[in-house]
Amino acid sequence: MSQYTAPVRDMQFVMHELAGLQEVAKLPGCEDVSSDLVDAILDEANKFASGILAPLNRVGDQEGAKWDHGKVTTAPGWKEAYRQFSEAGWTAVAGDPEYGGQGLPKLLSTAVMEMWKAANMAFSLCPMLTNGAIEAVALRGSDEQKAAYLPKMISGEWTGTMNLTEPQAGSDLAAVRTRAEPQGDGTYRLFGQKIFITYGEHDLTDNIVHLVLARLPDAPEGVKGISLFVVPKFLLNADGTPGERNDVQCVSIEHKLGIHASPTCVLAFGDSGGAIGTLVGEANRGLEYMFIMMNEARFAVGMEGLALSERAYQHALAYAKDRVQGTEAGVRGGPKVSILHHPDVRRMLMSMKSQTEAMRALAYVVGAATDLAHRHPDAAVRAQKQAFVDLMIPVVKGWCTENSIDIASTGVQVHGGMGFIEEAGAAQHLRDARITTIYEGTTAIQANDLIGRKIARENGVTVRALIGDMRAVQGQLAEQQGEAFAAIRKSLDAGIAAVEAAVDYILATYNNDIKAASVGSVPFLKLLGIVGGGWQMARAALASQARIAAGSDDEFYRTKIVTARFYADHVLSLAPALAYAVVNGAAGALALDEAHF
Q: Which of residues 512-531 bind a copy of itself (CB under 8 A)?
A: 514-516, 518-519, 521-523
Euclidean distance between the first and the last CA atom of the chain, given in angstroms as a whole number: 45
Q: Residues binding a copy of itself: what is the number (CB under 8 A)? A: 101
Residue 430 contacts a copy of itself per CB under 8 A:
yes
Choosing from 338, 384, 474, 476, the residue that interacts with a copy of itself (CB under 8 A) is 338
Q: Return the active site residues.
A: 440
CB closer to a copy of itself out of 278 and 338: 338
Residue 409 contacts a copy of itself per CB under 8 A:
yes
Name the minimum Å distance from CB 369 to a copy of itself.
27
Name the minimum Å distance from CB 254 to a copy of itself.
5
Choosing from 5, 12, 73, 559, the residue that interacts with a copy of itself (CB under 8 A) is 559
In the range 471-500, which residues lie near a copy of itself by CB under 8 A?
483-484, 487
CA distance 474 to 496: 9
In the range 318-337, which residues lie near a copy of itself by CB under 8 A?
321, 324-326, 329-330, 333, 336
Name the minimum Å distance from CB 406 to a copy of itself.
8
The conformation of residue 7, written as its DSSP 8-state character, comes to -
CB closer to a copy of itself out of 83 and 515: 515
The answer to whether 56 touches 81, Cβ cutoff 8 Å, is: yes
CB closer to a copy of itself out of 27 and 340: 340
Residue 88 contacts a copy of itself per CB under 8 A:
no
Name the minimum Å distance from CB 101 to a copy of itself.
31
Q: Could you give the count of Cα atoms lying within 13 Å of 392 in the half-sphere of its Cβ?
A: 30
**Closest by alpha carbon to 127, among 32, 53, 228, 37?**
53
In the range 147-176, which residues lie near a copy of itself by CB under 8 A?
165, 168, 170-172, 174-175
DSSP string, 466-512: HHHHHHHHHHHHHT--SHHHHHHHHHHHHHHHHHHHHHHHHHHHTTT
**Closest by alpha carbon to 116, among 4, 14, 20?**
4
CB closer to a copy of itself out of 497 and 574: 574
CA distance 217 to 161: 24
The answer to whether 580 touches 502, Cβ cutoff 8 Å, is: no
The answer to whether 355 touches 310, Cβ cutoff 8 Å, is: no
CB closer to a copy of itself out of 221 and 239: 221
- Decide: residue 475, CB within 10 A, 0-12 exposed, 13-18 middle, 19+ buried: exposed
CB closer to a copy of itself out of 292 and 421: 421
Residue 342 contacts a copy of itself per CB under 8 A:
yes
| Longest distance between any two alpha carbons in the chain, whole Å | 86
Residue 437 contacts a copy of itself per CB under 8 A:
yes
Residue 284 contacts a copy of itself per CB under 8 A:
no
CA distance 484 to 145: 56
For 130, 193, 211, the CA distances from 279, given in Å and listed in that order, are: 18, 18, 10
At 553, phi and psi to the nearest 5?
A: -115, 25
Choosing from 15, 118, 301, 447, the residue that interacts with a copy of itself (CB under 8 A) is 447
CB closer to a copy of itself out of 259 and 279: 259
Name the minimum Å distance from CB 490 to a copy of itself.
8
Q: Which range binds a copy of itself by CB under 8 A, 133-141, 298-306, 362-370, 589-597?
A: 589-597
Residue 374 contacts a copy of itself per CB under 8 A:
no
Residue 505 contacts a copy of itself per CB under 8 A:
no
Q: Which range binds a copy of itself by CB under 8 A, 22-30, 95-103, 368-376, 421-429?
A: 421-429
Residue 562 contacts a copy of itself per CB under 8 A:
yes
Q: Which residues contact residue 562 at a Cβ distance below 8 angstroms, ignoring those fewer than 6 apart?
A: 484
CB closer to a copy of itself out of 392 and 451: 451
Residue 5 contacts a copy of itself per CB under 8 A:
no
The answer to whether 336 touches 324, Cβ cutoff 8 Å, is: yes
In the range 125-144, which residues lie near a copy of itself by CB under 8 A?
none
CB closer to a copy of itself out of 83 and 224: 224
Residue 196 contacts a copy of itself per CB under 8 A:
yes
For residue 232, the SS3 value is strand
Choosing from 28, 273, 377, 417, the residue that interacts with a copy of itself (CB under 8 A) is 417
Name the minimum Å distance from CB 471 to a copy of itself.
22
Choosing from 28, 217, 343, 551, the residue that interacts with a copy of itself (CB under 8 A) is 343
In the range 200-259, which residues lie near a copy of itself by CB under 8 A?
221-222, 254-258
- The 3 state secondary structure assigned to 547-585 is HHHCCCCCHHHHHHHHHHHHHHHHCHHHHHHHHHHHHHC
CA distance 306 to 357: 8
At 400, phi and psi to the nearest 5?
A: -65, -40
Q: Which residues contact residue 395 at a Cβ distance below 8 angstroms, ignoring those fewer than 6 apart?
A: 362, 446, 450, 525, 528, 529, 532
**Closest by alpha carbon to 368, among 385, 390, 355?**
385
Choosing from 434, 489, 526, 539, the residue that interacts with a copy of itself (CB under 8 A) is 434
Name the minimum Å distance from CB 32 to a copy of itself.
35
